[in-house]
Chains A and B, each alone.
Chain A
Amino acid sequence: MPPEYRDLVEQSTYGHEDRGWKDIGNSKELIEAHSLCAGCPESMAFRYILASLPNPEDTVMVGSTGCTSLVFPMVAVHNIHSLFGNQNAVASGLKRALTVRFPDRIKDVVVLAGDGATVDIGLDMTLQAWFRQEKFTTICFDNELYANTGGQESGLMRKGFVAKMAPTGKKFDKVRLPEIARESGCCYVVNLTVSKPSLVEKVIKNAVLLAREVGPTYIQLYTPCILEIGKNSMEGLQEMRDSEKPGERFNYKEYITDEAKQYLADLDAKKKSAVIPAAQLTE
């Protein structure tokens, strides 16, 4: 067995209940060296998310075409890339198959795709999965444009931004997908940047745990494409901090249903009582 594989088995955090972003640097990560641009905030987002999955040993991820699909081959959980925009349809079928095949076990399904895949070409399937209350998490890496094809206008781009295919500036507002997600049946919706790893960890854990039992969840993360907005490699973090200030488009925003709130509170209470074996927490 190659040493990299042995490292993965022996030193990764599979099966650790309290795994999180602080394991980064101490244990073998589930993402190998990424293939994104130097300084790309997507690479930070990938690392935080993979470190925060509550159950990676039984998690299958579904991606889509774009920069993220260049990274998934380096990720050590099973992941599916098939077409552009079909991720929530694939995840619907996958979650159902895993539920049929493993009725007594938890198999988490997590979708991770860019804004073009989530909001433009795949919007139909994104929304329909939520209408149907399919029990998986949808994560959108929102870089406000098509990055992998070279910086074209997307539905999540700001109004007025000049880009390829928007040569005189984008003519309509950034699509309000978090609000649409709330109205479409998601029990937990968060809009944020990846500037604060602890926050990302908490949000991802909540989203995956809630999707198991309560209903679909949606997380929109600002992962600016520094290349296409004319920034340098070291400026990604500052760009995220600037865009999360009050009144800015990525100021932290959360919608949670009462049922979801109660579910998280119950989980918390069980955890605090601590005598209950961790395995029962999710039953």
Chain B
Amino acid sequence: MANELSETQKSQIGKQNKKGQTYTDPNHLFFKAPRTAAFYTGSEVIKEAIRRASVDVMVAYPITPQSEAAALIGELYAEGYVADYMRGESEFAVMGQCAGAAFGGARVFTTTAGPGTMRAMENFPMWVGSRLPIQMIVTCRGINSPLSIQPDTLEMYFLLGTGMLMWHAETAQDFFDWMLMGYIVSEQPDVHLPLALCCDGFFVTHTKDTVMLTPPEMCLPPYDPYRSPVVCMDMESPPVRMMRDPFIMKSNYISYMTHASWQEETRAACERSRKHTIPLIGGLIETENVDAEILIVASGTAVSQGREAIRLLEDEGIRVGLVKVKSLRPFPFEELREATKNAKHIFVPEFNVIGWLATELKAALPDNHRIIAGPHVAGGMTMPAEVIVRKNSDLSGVFGYYAAGVS
């Protein structure tokens, strides 16, 4: 079954927390509760989502462009919406503090960006192996030298192999909905994995957008740590030894087999998240006009720029379809194969210099000569829709071909 609550959680539905918010059935909260329009920055939207998320512990650290959001959660703590809040000493420590709180059975939230994500990197496979359903917002920024604080999604490339769930929000609305939905997916017993909810820094965090918010008097049911597939470290379960033999560091077959099978299991858990994710965020991908012979496949704000490019191309009489990739882990192999089956040319615009999404697609799709990586903008450069149009024409000439009416 998808997105089940435990009996403990169900027993909380309808009750009030100390702020007077009502623990609400997630499906009601997401799909039936009335929504109100608000005009907020992405950072303010993060705050509003956390107000409704029944978070126990948030650990913060300053790094642009997530500092504002992290500080706004501090205001929620001061108001009593978050049970504990602290500033860590570095992202490596922050992610350790998040781990400790999650090991102790708390619902945990943090935010990071760019070099901070890289500094913390050792923690992420550990979170996965320890099955800690921490939610981490990644407001992507440059990680190159010379120092840059500008939008750039290169850090996401390094997260792809950690085993975390990874979603890439395009808009503040995605953010608001997916943060709340993310906890429900992450905390399922057959998933129980951390979620890296990524967005393009500044473009999403620092711009204002109209967002439809759920009522502030409704919140998610609290986390139930006893649904975890591994023991919650609170000494509330019988005092058994966690392992009878420290095989973990031995060099023998059973040790190798244990590690191998656990890595397989955490990856399988990520795949199992599909059945919970799909009904909530409406599929791992979103498509428009995929019967067209030219497609743009993108994630994050590159999707928005792709939409603009498609509109410009329509003016020239060229029909182009769009695929928005919402989830990178699990990776939507089947969905993408189906969506691109008619495409002759697949353009992949990205906000990073290496084109990791194109690399992923080339490994996943048949006839991958169809994939044209680019345009790539990096270091904070914007991606005007005209760049996508021109780049595509320069590289392949296909637009000229189609515009001439030859098919």
Decide whether A and B assemble into one complex: yes
Q: Is the CB of B126 within 8 A of A82?
A: yes
Task: Please encode chain A, from 86 to 128, with 1 for each CB lying within 8 Å of some chain B CB and 0 for all others.
Answer: 1001111111111111100001000000000000000011001
Q: Which residue of B is nearest A125, CB measured?
A: B93
Q: Which residues 163-220 in A have Cβ within 8 Å of B in the complex?
A: none
Shortest Cβ gap from A63 to chain B (Å): 11
Judged by a CB distance under 8 angstroms, whether A23 is at the interface is no
Q: How would you classify the secondary structure of chain B's contact residues: helix, strand, loop or mixed? A: loop
**A86 with B96: in contact, given A60-B104, A73-B244 (CB under 8 Å)?**
yes
Say whether B100 contacts A91, CB under 8 Å: yes
Question: Does A57 touch B at the CB level, under 8 Å?
Answer: yes
Does A228 have its Cβ within 8 Å of any Cβ on chain B? no
A58, A71, A86 — which one has the most chain B CB atoms within 10 A of its CB?
A: A86
Contact of B102 among A86, A89, A93, A107 (CB under 8 A): A93
Q: How many interface contacts (CB-CB < 8 Å) are there between A and B?
A: 157
Name which of B59, B105, B108, B233 has the most chain A CB atoms within 10 A of its CB: B233
Contact for B89 among A14, A73, A124, CB less than 8 A: A124
Given contacts A101-B56, A128-B89, A9 and B239 within 8 Å (CB-CB) = yes
What chain B residues lie within 8 Å of A98 (beta carbons)? 104-105, 234
Nearest neighbor of B242 in chain A, beta-carbon distance: A73
Chain B, 14-47, CB within 8 A of any chain A CB: none
Contact flag A96-B242 (CB < 8 Å), given A90-B103, A101-B234, A128-B93: no
B315 at the interface (CB under 8 A from A): no
CA A9 to CA B126, docked complex, whole Å: 31
Q: Which residues of B contact A264 (CB under 8 A)?
A: none
Instruction: Count chain A residues whose beta carbon lies closer than 8 angstroms to a beta carbon of B.
Output: 48
User: Does B406 sit at the interface, judged by CB under 8 A?
Assistant: no
Interchain CB contact under 8 A, A107 and B234: yes
Contact check, B246 vs A100: say whether CB atoms are below 8 A apart.
no
Q: A80-B100, A82-B96 are in contact. Are A57 and B84 (CB under 8 A)?
A: no
**Residues A90 and B249 in contact, CB atoms below 8 Å apart:** no
Q: Can you name the residue of chain A whose Cβ is closest to the Cβ of B246?
A: A73
**How far is A77 from B17 in the complex, measured between Cα atoms in Å?**
32
Closest to A61 in B: B233
Please state if A93 and B99 are interface contacts (CB–CB under 8 Å): yes
A69 to B250, CA, bound (A): 12
* CB–CB A93/B231 < 8 A: no
The reply to whether A78 and B242 contact each other, CB–CB distance below 8 Å, is yes
- Do residues B235 and A59 form an inter-chain contact, with CB atoms below 8 A? yes
Contact of B93 among A57, A71, A124 (CB under 8 A): A124
- By Cβ-Cβ distance, the 10 closest A-B pairs, closest first, are A93-B100, A97-B104, A89-B96, A93-B101, A86-B96, A97-B106, A94-B100, A90-B100, A73-B243, A93-B97
List the interface of chain B (C-beta within 8 A of A): 56-57, 59, 83-84, 86, 88-90, 92-94, 96-106, 108, 122-123, 126, 130, 231, 233-235, 237-246, 248-249
